[in-house]
Structure 1
Amino acid sequence: MTGNEFDTLDVSVDDDGVATVRLANPPVNAISQEVRHELADAVDVLREDHVRVGIVTGDADVFSVGADVGLFEEAREWTTAEFRSNSRVLGRAFDGIETMEKPVMAAISGTCVGGGLELALACDVRIASPDAKLGFPEHNIGLIPGLGGCSRFVHLVGPGRAKDMIFSGELVDGDRAREIGLVERVADAPEAAAREYASDLLGQPPQALGLAKRAVNTARDTDTQTAGLVESLAQSTLLKTADHAEGVSAFRDDRDPEFTGE
């Protein structure tokens, strides 16, 4: 397993190509200015060719509380242009996770609110502990979720539920989060479950996983005709891959395929 030097994150890539980005900014994994910039660097690690699957996590008690009040107090001294510029650092990190052609999972234990939940929303699959606490309390300081907490959230839970939770600041546990579509899986040990899931994905064809992610995201974000075109083009690309040929051959030979990403 290889590691990378960060001050507020623990970032590692194991020999199989599973990368773990762990928030490590005690006591509550607040997303400070330093964390923002290091998350952007961590996304570059996830993009590396030898990385096949990413896992984003925190610790057993807190995934992340998002930005702390001190950062917002500092932000009051910024011009609006400075605020947008600083926000883009984190926004680009979230967008990078969402758009890269490989699966990225969020393993959520404990508190996951505000910008921490927005980070999880940028991931493809969220796995939460039953007693996790998820939500958007930004109204307590007169703000709204500003980096996906409105725009990504609505796609998962619908506009009514999104507005209700943002208006009220309601926090839901892992089981309720799964009921409303905010997380996809619940597990007593989310990180272990994410690693098991990642292990399963390592046996899948990487290009097919990446293009499936792109096609689904396009279907979410655009009209049916455009999404169908992307889907068709992705399929035509995959038809020419060595992994497709291997999959067909393995099916004919009644054996497990050995995908290489080619």
Structure 2
Amino acid sequence: MTDQSYETLDVSVTDGIATVRLANPPVNAISRTVRRELADAVDTLREDRVRVGIILGNADVFSVGADVGLFEKAQEWTTAEFRSNSRVLGRTFDALESMEKPIIAAIDGTCVGGGLELALACDVRIAAPDARLGFPEHNIGLIPGLGGCSRFVHLVGPGTAKDMIFSGELIDGERARTIGLVERVADDPESAANDYANDMLSRPPQALGLAKRVVNSARDTDTRTAGVLESLAQSTLLKTEDHDEGVQAFREDRDPEFTGK
């Protein structure tokens, strides 16, 4: 087991599973320090020893999003300075979304604003039934600006996305699953995320990574382009040792032992 403590995060890697826990009490606000340290944590998630990543907060709050004090400070910045600071977090979210391995968000308690945008950058969201999710940015005259509009619409559709952003309504985990905002609901999201991650360890890593890339491409491009990428990915996987192992295991009626080669 490898552990690394930051000022506002706890990061650990155990048997191929990396856990990134927000630890910025009392509400896990995404301060400038959190932004910088999340970017560093992404470098850990990229390491070859990591097969699956989990991002979580604590039992009371996943994250309330940006520290309001940051926006107060932003009044003194030029637009270029504000965009530069935003890009730090934007690049982190983009990296989570694009890296070729599953990233799971375990959502307990309050998950709003930038906290929900962090969860949106993950591949699978597991929420507690009584978690509270939404975008209250209109309370300070803003919009969700780091995926709360662009990623959100792909999950829930334009009508629901506009309704939640317009109203600032917070919904619970059950409602979030109904509209497609989260994929799973569990009484203990952290435990469920660990079970999910452990299951992923038995899967072929290259197939998982390329499936993620192709599905994201299908979301972002036209069907024909995505189909070409899908075919190319399949052609690549056909030549892997893991494919050979899967076929052999099927023939021998046993569980495959995938190595990522």
Same fold (TM over 0.5): yes
Distance 1:89 1:159 in 2: 27
**Residue equivalent to 1:101:** 100
**Residue equivalent to 1:111:** 110
Cα deviation code 1:157-191 (max 9, x no counterpart): 00000000000000000000000000000000000
Consecutive aligned runs of 4 or more in structure 1 exceeding 6 Å deviation: none
**Residue equivalent to 1:3:** 3
Cα deviation code 1:226-249 (max 9, x no counterpart): 101110110000000000000000
**Residue equivalent to 2:69:** 70
Quick one: which amino acid aligns to residue 5 of structure 1? S
**Residue equivalent to 2:144:** 145
Quick one: which amino acid aligns to residue 141 of structure 2? G
Distance 2:206 2:75 in 1: 44
- Give the drift of 1:68: 1.9
Distance 1:68 1:166 in 2: 19
- Give the drift of 1:5: 3.1
Q: Secondary structure at the match of 1:11?
A: strand
Cα deviation code 1:116-168 (max 9, x no counterpart): 00000000000000000000000000000000000000000000000000000
Distance 1:4 1:91 in 2: 23
**Residue equivalent to 1:31:** 30
**Residue equivalent to 1:186:** 185
Q: Secondary structure at the match of 2:55?
A: strand
Quick one: which amino acid aligns to residue 177 of structure 1? A
Q: Secondary structure at the match of 1:256?
A: coil
Distance 1:68 1:5 in 2: 21
Distance 2:209 2:83 in 1: 30
Quick one: which amino acid aligns to residue 7 of structure 1? E
Cα deviation code 1:2-52 (max 9, x no counterpart): 1113110000000x1100000000000000000000000000100000000
**Residue equivalent to 1:240:** 239
* Runs of 5+ consecutive residues of structure 1 not aligned to the other structure: none
Distance 1:226 1:74 in 2: 43
Q: Secondary structure at the match of 2:125?
A: strand
**Residue equivalent to 1:123:** 122
Distance 2:181 2:24 in 1: 25
Distance 1:195 1:165 in 2: 30
Identity %: 82
Q: Secondary structure at the match of 2:251?
A: helix
Distance 2:132 2:164 in 1: 13
Total equivalences in the alignment: 261
How large is the Cα RMSD of the aligned pairs?
0.4
Quick one: which amino acid aligns to residue 12 of structure 1? S
Quick one: which amino acid aligns to residue 10 of structure 1? D
**Are 2:226 and 1:227 equivalent residues in the alignment?**
yes
**Are 2:128 and 1:134 equivalent residues in the alignment?**
no
Cα deviation code 1:78-123 (max 9, x no counterpart): 1000011100000000000000000000000000000000000000
Quick one: which amino acid aligns to residue 158 of structure 2? P
**Are 2:16 and 1:17 equivalent residues in the alignment?**
yes
Give the alignment's TM-score, normalised by structure 1. 0.99
Give the alignment's TM-score, normalised by structure 2. 0.99
Quick one: which amino acid aligns to residue 76 of structure 2? E
